């Protein structure tokens, strides 16, 4: 997910996306622990997507406080 896509989301969509991606990351990690997944690089991508989403959320919280 690109930053331009993340910025275009509303705050409600952003919260929902964070929860969805965190769930997908946990599920993918479990699947990888049980049996190797086809593309383990996907775990890294999901982890970074969650971080990008959280960063945008925090940026919006800080702008609202000012």
CA distance 6 to 56: 7
The total domain count for the chain is 1
CATH number for position 47: 1.10.287
Give the predicted TM-score (pTM) of the model.
Answer: 0.89
Q: Print the domain residue range for 21.
A: 3-65
Q: Which two tokens mark 62?
A: 């800080």
- 10 Å CB burial of residue 53 (0-12, 13-18, 19+) is buried
Please report the pLDDT score of residue 20 as a whole number.
97
The answer to whether 40 and 25 are in contact (CB under 8 A) is: no
Please report the pLDDT score of residue 27 as a whole number.
96
Please report the pLDDT score of residue 15 as a whole number.
96
């Amino acid at each position: 997910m690109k930053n331009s896509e993340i910025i275009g989301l509303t705050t409600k969509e952003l919260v929902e996306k964070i929860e969805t991606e965190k769930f997908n990351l946990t599920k993918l990690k479990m699947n990888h622990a049980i049996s190797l997944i086809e593309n383990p690089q996907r775990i890294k991508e999901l982890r970074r997507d969650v971080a990008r989403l959280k960063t945008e959320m925090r940026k919006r919280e800080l702008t609202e406080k000012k």
